Amino acid sequence: MSFSEILYKILIQGGSYWTILKGLNSTVEISFYSLLLGTLLGAFVCALRMSKIKILRFAATVYIVILRGSPVLMLLMLMYYGVFARSSLEANVIAIVTFSLNVAAHIAELLRASISATDHGQVEAARTLGFSAWQGFRLITLPQVIKIAKPVYQSTIVNLIQWTSVVGYVSITDLTRVINNIASRTMQPMITISIGMLIYLGLAYIVHGIFALTDYLQARKEAVR
């Protein structure tokens, strides 16, 4: 069997490309919603982690330590086959909740580190000039936090996309599961998995491209000013 015949069998025959697209859609959907929820939850956990109330700080620390220290597959299986076993929630929803919880712990620490890296004196100076606490945070701290956190946040998104490759264990047919099914059907694991890797790599570069675009737009905006 020639290489082109193998490629045809893997990518085209029987509408295989459509199945791959559906799997890709599932991966992107889970990653996108998990990132959205995870970022919001991460910001909240970060606020708790930096709170002046000791018990809240402690609770946030425990959350971060547990979630960052446990493998996401174990957490996913525990949630799907244990915690939500009797619920009627769709597998996709449980996966999004799980990945949100996990990524939130990472984002909370990322935000905390970024906030710590900013100069608190600038906010104090702003306050003496009549800025409110919220204004000080929004106009002085937040832009710097975004700038500091951006490269690591980008890596976190790429990591999240890769972490979702375990959702086949909870009956979701994502990109990895589709690739595995095709590899089993065609008995061509090396080529099929290489194609799967290229698709994941493409996703990572799309994320990279989006961040590069935002950097470019920001630079242009500042140049116009």
Partner 1 sequence: MKKFLCALIFVFLLAGASFGAGKNFVDAGILTYLGTTEQEFQSGLDDLRKAVAPLLPADEDKGEWASYDRLEGFLDSLVQQRRVIHFYDSLLSMQMALRSHKIDEIALPEPVGMYLISNNPKYEIYFSLNMMPSTISFGFKHGNTALQKEFNTAILAMRKDGTLARLQKNFVLELPTGEPEAVKFTKFKDAQTIRVAVTGDLPPIDFIAADGTPTGYNTAILSEIGKRLKKNIRLVSIEAGARSAALAGERVDVVFWYRNTEGLKAPQKLKGKNLKNVMKDNLEGVILSEPYYEWDTDLIIGLAD
Residues making contact with partner 1 (CB under 8 A): 1, 13-16, 18-19, 22-23, 77, 80-82, 85-86, 168-171, 173, 177-178, 180-190, 193
Give the C-alpha separation, 43 to 105, whole Å. Answer: 9
Give the C-alpha separation, 43 to 38, whole Å. Answer: 8
Give whichever of 109 and 174 is closer to partner 1, judged by the CB atom: 174
Question: From the CB of 178, what's the least distance to partner 1, in Å?
Answer: 7
Question: From the CB of 206, what's the least distance to partner 1, in Å?
Answer: 23
Question: From the CB of 29, what's the least distance to partner 1, in Å?
Answer: 16
The 8-class DSSP code of residue 140 comes to I
Give whichever of 104 and 179 is closer to partner 1, judged by the CB atom: 179
Question: From the CB of 103, what's the least distance to partner 1, in Å?
Answer: 22
Q: Which residues of 85-119 are buried (b: 16+ CB within 10 A; e: fewer)?
A: eeeeeebbebbbbbbbbbbbbbbbbbbbebbeebe
Give whichever of 107 and 167 is closer to partner 1, judged by the CB atom: 167
Using DSSP, state whether 171 is helix, strand or coil: coil
Q: Are 104 and 38 contacting, i.e. CB atoms less than 8 angstroms apart?
A: yes
Q: Are 160 and 85 contacting, i.e. CB atoms less than 8 angstroms apart?
A: no
Closest Cα to residue 163, out of 96, 225, 213?
96
Give whichever of 93 and 193 is closer to partner 1, judged by the CB atom: 193
Give whichever of 9 and 106 is closer to partner 1, judged by the CB atom: 9
Question: From the CB of 31, what's the least distance to partner 1, in Å?
Answer: 19
